Amino acid sequence: MSTFFIPYHIARATLGKYESDKCTDISPFNLAKLAEYYGLSMDYLMGLTENKNHPNTALHELHLNDSTVDLLKSGALNNRLLCEFVCHPGFLRLLTDMEVCIDRIADMRIRDMNLVLEQARQSVMEQRQPPENDLYMRTLELGQVSEELFFSHVIHDDLDRIVKDLRTRHESDKTTAELETPAADFARNIPVILLDALMHKGTADEKRAFTICRVFGIDDFVNMS
């Protein structure tokens, strides 16, 4: 919200306080005024919902069946990730390609193309009897497309682009795992641990015990040695 636009009955200083990180409380009256002024719900302003523009959309307008609604409400899905997935610019392409595949819209065209290529190949084979690895004959053979293989590649490419994009967007997310792992830190320290073990005074068994303690971060034995 910008302090340039000031809702009625709210002082500029008060609005400025609301916009700062130091704001810890807001009166219900002012909250209602802000919601009315900006055309938002009070729940959205309080962070109770992410529905900014459609807080009261009727369920029937979404055209979802009961099973889908039950699944969305169950908590079994990561609804935030689902929303990001559906709102991604590549989602409509993915859905379109899935529809083409599932409803077999392009199957007839693929079969027609394969039939033409195969007839041409058979005709050449009968007339000229080319060698087994003839370039032209192999081209006619490889030019024929497997419907299942073709669509699996198309849909996989669509999905892969979306997932990679969302993966990049989530790099700064608090729930994203760190790139640096404890194993990597341990691997860097192995040479130091081994060198310390070699320099440690004591019997072979004591050196082994010293190394094990260092590996597992046990300092008692190390401090006693």
Range of 11-25, 34-48, 87-101 with top mean pLDDT: 87-101
Degrees (nearest 5) of the Cα angle 81, 83, 88?
Answer: 95
Interval 178-222: pLDDT, tens: 666 666 666 666 777 677 767 777 788 877 777 777 776 666 554
Enter the tokens of residue 118: 């195969």
Kindly calculate the radius of gyration of the chain based on its CA atoms and give it in whole angstroms: 33
DSSP state of 9: T
Interval 149-178: pLDDT, tens: 888 899 999 999 999 999 998 888 777 666
Q: Let me know: does 90 contact 158? Beta carbons within 8 Å.
A: yes
Interval 58-81: pLDDT, tens: 888 889 999 999 999 999 999 889
Q: How many Å separate Cα 193 from the centre of its chain?
A: 39
Q: Evaluate if residue 135 carries a pLDDT over 70.
A: yes
Question: Which amino acid is located at 120 in the chain?
Answer: A
Non-local CB neighbours of 59 within 8 Å, separated by 6+ positions: 69
Distance CA 177, CA 180 (A): 9
Degrees (nearest 5) of the Cα angle 76, 81, 82?
Answer: 70
Say what the pLDDT of residue 178 is. 63
Q: Let me know: does 34 contact 1? Beta carbons within 8 Å.
A: yes
